[in-house]
Every structure is written in C-alpha cells, then in structure tokens.
Amino acid sequence: MTTTPPEHQNPFASNPFDSNALSTEQPFQGMSEAPATLNDIPVKHSKLGIASFILGVLNAIVIMIILSIATYFTSQEQLIINMQPEEQQTDYIVTGFVFIILFLMGFLLTITGLGLGIASLVIKNTKKVFGIIGTVMGGVPVIMYLFLILLGI
C-alpha cells in the first residue's frame, strides 16, 4: 500500500468546522492562555521602561506646547510689528524666557527618558516593550534637540 506524500494530500479533506474533528485534535499551540514565564516566574514590565515611556509622552506634550506658542506668535507678527518698542522688548523677553525654560525642560525629560529606556533594556527577566518605546521616544527628540542646538536656535 502506498501513502500519498503530504504535499499531494487534499487540504480540504477534513472539515475544520466539524465539532467532532475539533474535539479530537490538539488545540492550537500559539494561543496559549498562560502568561509569558521564565522558570514559572511571571515576567513583568520593567518599571524603568514604564517611567521612560511616561517621560517620552510628557516630552511630546512639551514639544507640542513649544510649537503651539511659536505658531501663535508667528500668527501675531503684524500685531507685534505695530507695537511700541518698549512693549515689543518686554514681549520678546518673556517669550524668549518661556521658550528657554520649555526647551531645557524638554531636553532634560528627553535625556532622562532615554537613559531610563536604555537601563530598562539591560534588566533581565522583564518585558522590553515599554523600554523600547521609551528609548525611541527619547532618542528621536535627542537627535532633534541636538540638530536645533547645532543650528543655533
């Protein structure tokens, strides 16, 4: 008696919706309900990774605030041009001070988030998802801030 090689067998020979066929087969191994474990110890998210992710979100908020203030003052350019010199000087000083504070705060958030993200990737027996996301959310603004510093802004 000859057997048919697997590549020549009919893939539609069994009905996947047959209740009898489902009860006799092994369940799909990829859909395990068990959590990711290492030696029966549940693997948790790294707290440093979560902190890095939170700092990345806060930094994104700071960047949006900086961009919205810059957009507002750009749209008010005609109003600023028509002001008296003393009023212009005061507005520019306050705006510059706010930009410097926000820029430094964003830069510190970015550096801290990047450091925490890298540290969370080194820790063993923890999930790396938030660490990777936090490192990316910290790394991209670092490159952006360094580029702005090199431009002289």
Residue type, position 40, single letter: D
67 in any annotated domain = yes
49 in any annotated domain = yes
Instruction: Name the domain count of the chain.
Output: 1
23 in any annotated domain = no
11 in any annotated domain = no
Give the model confidence (pLDDT) of 78-114 as tens digits: 665 666 666 666 777 787 888 889 888 988 999 999 9
End-to-end CA distance of the chain: 82
Domain range holding 139?
Answer: 45-151
0.75 exceeded by pTM: no
DSSP state of 26: P
26 in any annotated domain = no
31 in any annotated domain = no
Using the predicted structure, report yes or no on whether residue 117 has a pLDDT greater than 70. yes
